[in-house]
């Protein structure tokens, strides 16, 4: 007899959890043993039930999916966390992977894909949606020098809102010359020559919300 894989579903929409439960429990070797509607609730439910796999939504009120994943992984239990979300920006993917998620799937996955991913996660494998895998590969291949600092992202975010260098300096309590320095470094890292291209490129890479 095949061992049954236990699962906890985490999503702030009850209808989503109900749909996932129906898909997964149609498989004879999968059993949904618990649900949670928030990150905080997920941490408590997983600690109590110690499931094999946790399917974790990313965007939830309060503690989000990344924060919940970090706490579950840090607790050192047996549960493997697989993110299941509609979002696939580079920043979301990297945050989830850095938090310790064993996989990253999109909600348009078929029942067979979902069930296969749960089984793979239980075996200790990493499971990624094809588009997500492609994004991660591109991130890894990008030279490290292209990583923007927190301050550079902050400055670029204000540029995206149409602020002038003087206005950005006043907002961040830095000189206008320092703003220009941050922008020049950003242009070099993104391989662009102007403010508009910098904002467009950063948004395409998921660096700006």
Listed by start position, the domains of the chain span 5-141, 150-205
* 150-205 CATH choice from 3.40.605.10, 3.30.420.10, 3.30.1180.20, 1.10.10.10: 1.10.10.10
The SS3 call for residue 40 is helix
- 97: pLDDT confidence band, cut at 50, 70 and 90? confident
Q: In what order do the strands lie in the sheet with 30-36?
A: 30-36, 5-10, 53-56, 80-85, 103-106, 127-128
Percentage with pLDDT > 90 across the chain: 63
CB 152 within 8 A of CB 174: no
Angle of CA points 46, 118, 4, to nearest 5° = 75
Q: Please state, in angstroms and as integers, the Cα–Cα distance from residue 136 to each residue in 96, 103, 149, 163, following that order.
A: 12, 12, 19, 32
- 130: pLDDT confidence band, cut at 50, 70 and 90? confident
The pairing of strands 53-56 and 80-85 is: parallel
DSSP 149: P
- 146: pLDDT confidence band, cut at 50, 70 and 90? low
Residue 209 has pLDDT above 70, yes or no: no
Look at the block and give the residue holding tokens 């670029």: 156
- The yes or no reply on domain 5-141 and CATH 3.40.50.2300 is yes
Determine the pLDDT at residue 30: 97
The SS3 call for residue 63 is coil
DSSP 148: P
Do the domains 5-141 and 150-205 sit in the same CATH topology, yes or no?
no
pLDDT tens-place string over residues 17-69 = 999 999 999 999 999 999 999 999 999 999 999 999 999 999 898 899 999 99
Look at the block and give the residue holding tokens 């999503």: 11
Residue 145 has pLDDT above 60, yes or no: no
User: pLDDT: is 1 or 2 the higher one?
Assistant: 2
Look at the block and give the residue holding tokens 């059993």: 31
Strand partners, 53: 7, 80
pLDDT tens-place string over residues 158-192 = 999 999 999 999 999 999 889 998 999 899 888 88
Query: What CA–CA distance (Å, rounded) separates 22 from 201?
Result: 41
Determine the pLDDT at residue 143: 53
Determine the pLDDT at residue 46: 97
Determine the pLDDT at residue 98: 81
């Amino acid at each position: 007899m095949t061992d049954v894989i236990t699962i906890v579903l985490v999503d702030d929409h009850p209808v989503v959890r109900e749909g996932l439960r129906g898909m997964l429990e149609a498989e004879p070797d999968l059993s949904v043993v618990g649900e949670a509607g928030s990150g905080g609730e997920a941490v408590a439910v997983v600690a109590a039930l110690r499931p094999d796999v946790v399917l974790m939504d990313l965007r939830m009120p309060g503690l989000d999916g990344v924060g919940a994943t970090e706490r579950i992984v840090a607790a050192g239990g047996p549960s493997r966390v697989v993110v299941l979300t509609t979002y696939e920006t580079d920043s979301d993917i990297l945050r989830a992977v850095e938090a310790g998620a064993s996989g990253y799937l999109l909600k348009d996955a078929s029942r067979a894909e979902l069930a296969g991913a749960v089984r793979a996660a239980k075996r200790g494998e990493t499971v990624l949606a094809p588009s997500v895998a492609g994004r991660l590969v591109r991130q890894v291949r990008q030279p490290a020098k292209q990583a923007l600092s927190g301050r550079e992202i902050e400055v670029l975010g204000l540029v995206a809102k149409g602020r002038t260098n003087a206005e950005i300096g006043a907002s961040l309590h830095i000189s206008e010359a320092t703003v220009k320095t941050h922008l020049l470094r950003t242009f070099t890292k993104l391989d662009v020559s102007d403010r508009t291209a910098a904002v467009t490129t950063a948004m395409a890479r998921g660096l700006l919300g």
